[in-house]
């Protein structure tokens, strides 16, 4: 297994864990458990960011092109329009 595959697999795993924490935290009534899960999620986010930077530096990940102001405004307009019935 090469380095690129390992970094990619690690990112997929971390992203899955972040989703899992996003699902669990709002469903937890115990305040101590909720705080613990938030702390673990924050550490997981830091790991994800480090892996992302490694992937970017090594050319394993190339982000999508940035949206133009016109594209951003178009999406904002769609999302702020009243829903049609």
Taking the C-alpha atoms of residue 36 and residue 77, their distance in angstroms, rounded to an integer, is: 39
Residue-wise pLDDT tens digits, 18-71 = 999 999 999 999 999 999 999 999 999 999 999 999 999 999 988 889 999 999
Is 51:4 a contact under the CB 8 Å cutoff?
A: no
Taking the C-alpha atoms of residue 45 and residue 51, their distance in angstroms, rounded to an integer, is: 10
Residue-wise pLDDT tens digits, 67-85 = 999 999 999 999 998 866 5
Per-residue pLDDT at 85:
58
Taking the C-alpha atoms of residue 65 and residue 61, their distance in angstroms, rounded to an integer, is: 12
Contacts (Cβ under 8 Å, ≥6 apart) of 21: 37, 38, 40, 41, 44
**Where along the chain do its domains lie?**
3-80
Taking the C-alpha atoms of residue 59 and residue 15, their distance in angstroms, rounded to an integer, is: 19
pLDDT bracket for residue 2 (50, 70, 90): very high
Taking the C-alpha atoms of residue 10 and residue 32, their distance in angstroms, rounded to an integer, is: 28
């Amino acid at each position: 297994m090469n380095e690129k595959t390992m970094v990619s697999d690690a990112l997929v795993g971390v992203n899955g864990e972040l989703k899992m924490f996003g699902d669990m935290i709002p469903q937890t009534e115990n305040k101590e458990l909720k705080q613990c899960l938030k702390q673990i999620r924050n550490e997981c986010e830091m790991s994800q960011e480090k892996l992302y930077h490694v992937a970017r530096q090594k050319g394993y990940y190339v982000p999508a092109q940035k949206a133009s102001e016109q594209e951003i405004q178009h999406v904002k307009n769609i999302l702020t329009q009243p829903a049609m019935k």
